[in-house]
Structure 1
Amino acid sequence: MRVRKFAAIDIGSNAVRLLISNVLETDNKPPTFSKSSLVRVPIRLGTDVFLNGKVSDENSDRLLESMQAFKILMKVHKVEDYRACATSAMREAKNGADLAKTIKKKTGVNIEIIDGSDEAAIIAATDLKTLIEGDKNYLYVDVGGGSTEFTVYAQGETVASKSFKIGTVRLLNETVSHDTWIEVENWIKEHTKGFEDVALIGSGGNINKIFKISGKKEGAALTYSYISSYYQFLMSFSYEERISVLGLNQDRADVIIPAARIYMNAMKWSRAKKIYVPKIGLSDGIVKSLYYSQEEQTASENK
């Protein structure tokens, strides 16, 4: 038996995360992945970028300091390898590429600024495919701060996949046009028409939080009526009350409402009555794609 450690840095529009995973290798068995440590820093890059077009000096410094801290954490955890990926906020920031270069120079952390299709490919490296039953139809919805990725699966195959600039931070900042909502609605309806009993698979911090609050057992589904009722429940509280009364973190208490709205609309437009919430996301996909790419390289070198 051998335990190896890999890490993923996910620089999103609402927060920055470091996931350190244990990979357990046992003879004649597939590797197993388990979370060793997860650190989340609430740097809301999206508010800077979606309103002003660039990352502010203050948040540039916070991001730099976070990467310095993450590098130390990876060292003390004895991480073998890591991959750092930045999504829509850094992608759209006028100073995104320059900031990534500065961070590389000062910390040694190499940040890849990836697009929506890259995000979808990385997430596909997770256990998502193992959750999809071959005789059923699904709409996978990954809601982030700056964008939402949609993928339609039918009979075990990918039918269509697209990233839209609808995210929780964009919605909070009122930078999503009505036309964009119409575009998403038309895309979902077009690619799910003719499919019976479509179910949603949801990922992202907000739907994970909603699922945890529901008290459902892992593997169970949430219904549209539950999501809708919980949305109305949240709306009955002020932002301050969602923190003080409901116990939500301050950087969760606002974005959870637009996130619920995205999931509800996706369910309505795809005619889905249920949403499954597996614990998968970009960080998990980064770790697994990194591990398997190393294994492929090693196998190639040993030929």
Structure 2
Amino acid sequence: MHHAHSHPRRLALIDMGTNTFHLLIVEMPTTPGQPPVVVLRTKAGVRLGEGGISQGIIAPAAYDRALHTLAGFKEEMELHAVTEVRATATSAMRVTKNGPDLVREIFEQTGIQVNVIPGEREAELICQGVRQAVDLGEESQLIMDIGGGSVEFIIANQATIFWKQSFEIGAQRLLDMFFPDPSGVFPAAAVEAEQQYLGTMLTPLIEAVRQYRPVGIVGASGSFDSLADMQLGQLRTEAELPPCTELALESFQSSYRHLLGGNHEQRKALPGILPMRADMLVVATVLIDFVLGITEITRIRTSAYALKEGLLAEMLAV
């Protein structure tokens, strides 16, 4: 007698950020309440915002890198017998003139329908994802995700989001504004200029922090992963990162000094650094330092989970 055999439901989650594209493939549980099994977790440095985001376009080279990366993701999905896909795109696709063209071309070439989401929704999903990796507890925490195009700040505990906002001040934009000479050193004047700018742009955050008094920072994004790698002194793949890492304040300060003190080549040689991220990390750590300054927080944790895990958690909760 022939038994009907249902094929496992395999889901691909794609998060198309301004710097990095992420692909997570999971097998959905057949028994309710079981966690999904991770089949593949990978990422690609696409730098979608490079050479264009500050002008409101995706540059031709970045556009091609995006199509090439998605073609690669499509191959992985076929290889791992994926049955459904959720693809989201954020800042770079939201604000660029040719973002919609790229969405259309991705669909034509791969059949993947990309959903461009607003900043508020992005913040919500990031918080959901972080909660899967970090126990936020009762007291409010400040979650921050430093993207290439936008930065999300969320003040939340394990149960409630108290405040959230997305700011278009991502690392690629900060790089374009304050670090036009990537060959060199990041001068004190540039640090000063970036801090001044952040002080102006982040007024709503400063007020929210005063109101909700978060006791810790939880960082989710490549910059925080890099700082956790620097603390360890080795570069890890996406799959090797633990869900949550305590980032010692001394370690952050030491990494920050090293990043600011060096030139481009010296930065790239630092243990735990992805060369692609070296310069971005400089403007990102200035931002983290600024936030430490306005909050006077001393505890930093990093979350390896963000938007795509939030999406998955939401789908499982339904």
TM-score (norm 1): 0.84
The answer to whether structure 1 residue 139 and structure 2 residue 145 are counterparts is no
**Shift in alpha-carbon separation, 1:178–1:232, aligned structure 2, 3 A:** closer
Partner of 2:111: 108
Letter in 2 for 1:202: G
Q: 79, 83, 97: which one pairs with 2:86?
A: 83
1:156 CA displacement = 4.3
Q: 164, 168, 189: which one pairs with 1:165?
A: 168
**Shift in alpha-carbon separation, 1:79–1:290, aligned structure 2, 3 A:** farther
Partner of 1:189: 206
Query: What's the secondary structure of 2:49's corresponding residue?
Result: helix
Letter in 1 for 2:227: I
1:17 CA displacement = 2.0
The answer to whether structure 1 residue 19 and structure 2 residue 44 are counterparts is no
Query: What's the secondary structure of 2:66's corresponding residue?
Result: helix
Structure 2, unaligned runs of 5 or more: 1-6, 179-192, 234-241
The answer to whether structure 1 residue 259 and structure 2 residue 263 are counterparts is no
Q: 116, 131, 134: which one pairs with 1:128?
A: 131
Deviates more, 1:274-283 or 1:217-226: 217-226
1:154 CA displacement = 5.5
Task: Note if contact 1:20-1:38 (Cα within 8 Å) is conserved in structure 2.
Answer: yes
Letter in 2 for 1:278: S
The 5 A counterparts of 1:1-303 are: 4-26=9-31, 30-126=33-129, 128=131, 131-134=135-138, 136-153=139-156, 156-174=159-177, 181-193=198-210, 195=212, 198-215=215-232, 219=244, 221-246=246-271, 248-292=273-317, 296=318
Provide the rounded CA distance (Å) in 1 between the counterparts of 2:272 and 2:141: 32
1:228-257 deviation per Cα after TM superposition (whole angstroms, max 9, x unaligned):
221001222222223245362221112122
**Shift in alpha-carbon separation, 1:120–1:31, aligned structure 2, 3 A:** farther
**Shift in alpha-carbon separation, 1:227–1:67, aligned structure 2, 3 A:** same
Provide the rounded CA distance (Å) in 1 between the counterparts of 2:215 and 2:203: 16
Partner of 2:181: none
Structure 1, unaligned runs of 5 or more: 297-303
1:169-210 deviation per Cα after TM superposition (whole angstroms, max 9, x unaligned):
111111797775124442223112255561111100110121
Deviates more, 1:173-182 or 1:15-24: 173-182
Letter in 2 for 1:209: S
Task: Note if contact 1:5-1:22 (Cα within 8 Å) is conserved in structure 2.
Answer: yes
Query: What's the secondary structure of 1:173's corresponding residue?
Result: helix
Provide the rounded CA distance (Å) in 2 between the counterparts of 1:137 and 1:97: 37
Task: Note if contact 1:22-1:33 (Cα within 8 Å) is conserved in structure 2.
Answer: yes
Query: What's the secondary structure of 2:129's corresponding residue?
Result: coil
**Shift in alpha-carbon separation, 1:45–1:155, aligned structure 2, 3 A:** closer
Provide the rounded CA distance (Å) in 2 between the counterparts of 1:89 and 1:55: 7
Deviates more, 1:111-120 or 1:205-214: 205-214
Provide the rounded CA distance (Å) in 2 between the counterparts of 1:277 and 1:257: 17
Query: What's the secondary structure of 1:145's corresponding residue?
Result: coil
**Shift in alpha-carbon separation, 1:83–1:187, aligned structure 2, 3 A:** same
**Shift in alpha-carbon separation, 1:72–1:138, aligned structure 2, 3 A:** same
Task: Note if contact 1:126-1:285 (Cα within 8 Å) is conserved in structure 2.
Answer: yes
Partner of 2:190: none
Query: What's the secondary structure of 1:47's corresponding residue?
Result: coil
Provide the rounded CA distance (Å) in 2 between the counterparts of 1:52 and 1:62: 19
TM-score (norm 2): 0.80
Provide the rounded CA distance (Å) in 1 between the counterparts of 2:214 and 2:101: 47
State the aligned residue count: 289
